[in-house]
Amino acid sequence: MSNDKYRILSTRHLTDSSIAVAAENGILIEVKDFIQIKPVTLPALKGTTPGWNNTYTSNIFQAPNVSVFTSANAINVLEQHYFSIGSDRKNGLFTFFLRDHANICCISGKTLQKAREVFPDCNILASSPYGSELAAAIIALGNISEVNFYCGNQRREELPSTLKQAGIRVNEFVIYENIPAPEVTTTDYDGVLFFSPSAVKSYLSTNRLPGKTVCFAIGRTTATALGEYTDNKIIMSTNISEDALVQTAIFYFNNINCYE
């Protein structure tokens, strides 16, 4: 017999460890991806040299160039679809050499973690939880005149707009698309985990939230998007990471009387 007291839905893939921790605290998490990531191939970014089609891609990540990321999805797409040279992908010696000591400015949490994984020995010049704050941190460095911004087709305007207003040139590379993957759910969940405004829109395009369902948002931007669609209780995680959002849900349901 299950000991689960609460059932919640995650609108994005979670690690097995996060699901296990929730289960240990009496919470069953079901996962349904409401957003699909579709890579976009940019010929200009991949280069044109036969047999070495990612030489240009790797070179533009070398210092003094500055790379900006506001989503781990962009780094995943670069790693899986741009940083490969046929059979050399297995050992990655060539691509890792050219990505060594990259200058990076990125969102904290999962994006920062992925940046450190994909770009060995990178220099993290600036990191902040939100795009507007990241832009301010980049400007505050005082020595950045141009950045390469890797993003998706649903990226927000705050970061590039703020940088441009400060006189910083932004070379924007849209390397993936956020594709809504709405699905009707028939379960009355006690809570739903949301990781992005696009997931909010996708989920609520086909589902109505029961009045008792609590919405958990990974950050301020997602919480704001939820407020535009529902009057249900919205609780924002203390940090923009998967672990923080799951722990926020665990704390809420373990201390539910404190929220009444």
Beta bridge partners of 126: 105
**In tens digits, what is the pLDDT along the chain, a chain of 260 residues?**
345 689 999 999 999 999 999 999 999 999 999 999 999 988 777 654 344 345 556 578 888 899 999 999 999 999 988 876 443 444 444 444 556 789 999 999 999 999 999 998 899 999 999 999 999 999 999 999 999 999 999 999 999 999 999 999 999 999 999 999 999 999 999 999 999 999 999 999 999 999 999 999 999 999 999 999 999 999 999 888 999 999 999 999 998 756 56
CATH of 6-34+182-259, one of 1.25.10.10, 3.30.70.100, 3.40.50.10090, 3.40.50.300: 3.40.50.10090
Token pair recorded at residue 193: 């985990």
**What's 35's DSSP letter?**
E
Token pair recorded at residue 79: 């790693």
Could you give the C-alpha distances from 50 to 53, 56, 59, 88, in angstroms and in order? 6, 12, 16, 15
Q: Judge: domain 37-178, CATH 3.40.50.10090.
A: yes
pTM of the model: 0.85
CA 42 to chain centre: 21
Q: Where do we find the tokens 């904290």?
A: 108
Reported for 168-171, long-range contacts at CB under 8 A and 24+ positions apart, including other chains, are 168/138, 168/139, 168/144, 169/145, 170/146, 171/146, 171/147
- In angstroms, the CA 41 to CA 7 distance is 39
Identical fold for domains 6-34+182-259 and 37-178, yes or no, is: yes
Compute the C-alpha angle 242/247/251, nearest 5°: 155
Neighbours of 2 (CB within 10 A): 8
